[in-house]
A and B are shown apart, each in its own frame.
Chain A
């Protein structure tokens, strides 16, 4: 029963890893509590977006991840 959290770009640097498994189910408060303070601050930034299974959430605080879901924390894109 796990959720995979993917850290991208700068956030992977902060996390010190590209991904981490956390117990399912997982909501926004649970995710914030599981991350290191610096990472949680970056994740809360208005410019950080969150996707679940490739769908970007309109409101990341509505996160409700289930077993097997993949959450991605997305810093602002730099463009191609």
Chain B
């Protein structure tokens, strides 16, 4: 299976990455993808994602191992930003190419739930009154528990 896991320090185009991924997997019966963006909320001016070299990308690779072990895929792509982002900017792109759609949908859903709650990223937001660290959301933990069987 072809895998493309990257930690990106600069802005990227999910559309372009997805186009290349589709081209690389002409054999797939379908491709499911998810793009996560900085929510254009209230007064958030900048979102900063912080990573730790020794854990973050190795953790994403381990997540890809797990996804490959659970679903029958032709290809898997995980691109995740780190650094400063503006509202509306893409943070993450996950795509799975598979013979059958159910594998592709579930693989992307699983990868996103794990990225949202168990990946090695720390986040802070710059609002009108300065920087605020973001705590994990309870909902994100509940979402990922769906897969713990």
Q: Which of A13-67 contact B (CB under 8 A)?
A: 13, 51, 53-54, 56
Chain A binding surface SS class: loop
1/0 per position for B90-105, CB-CB distance to A under 8 A?
Answer: 0110000000000000
Number of A-B contacts (CB under 8 A): 62
Pick the contact of B133 from A10, A51, A54, A79 — CB < 8 Å?
A: A10
Contacts of B124 in A (CB 8 A): 9
**Which of B16-24, B25-33, B134-142 lies at the interface with chain A?**
B134-142
Q: Is the CB of A9 within 8 A of B54?
A: no
Please, how many angstroms separate the alpha-carbon atoms of A70 and B135 in the complex?
Answer: 25
Contacts of B91 in A (CB 8 A): 80
Contacts of A8 in B (CB 8 A): 50, 52, 122
How many interface residues does A have (CB within 8 Å)?
Answer: 18
Contacts of B58 in A (CB 8 A): 54
Chain B binding surface SS class: mixed
Contacts of B117 in A (CB 8 A): 77, 79
1/0 per position for B124-149, CB-CB distance to A under 8 A?
Answer: 10000000011111001000000000
Would you list the 4 A-B pairs with minimal beta carbon distance, nearest first? A54-B54, A9-B122, A78-B123, A80-B115
Give B contacts to A, CB under 8 Å.
Answer: 36, 49-50, 52, 54-55, 58, 80, 91-92, 115-124, 133-137, 140
Contacts A79-B136, A80-B49 known; 8 new A-B pairs at CB < 8 A: A8-B52, A10-B122, A10-B133, A51-B55, A78-B122, A79-B116, A79-B118, A79-B121
Give A contacts to B, CB under 8 Å.
Answer: 6, 8-10, 13, 51, 53-54, 56, 70, 72, 74-80
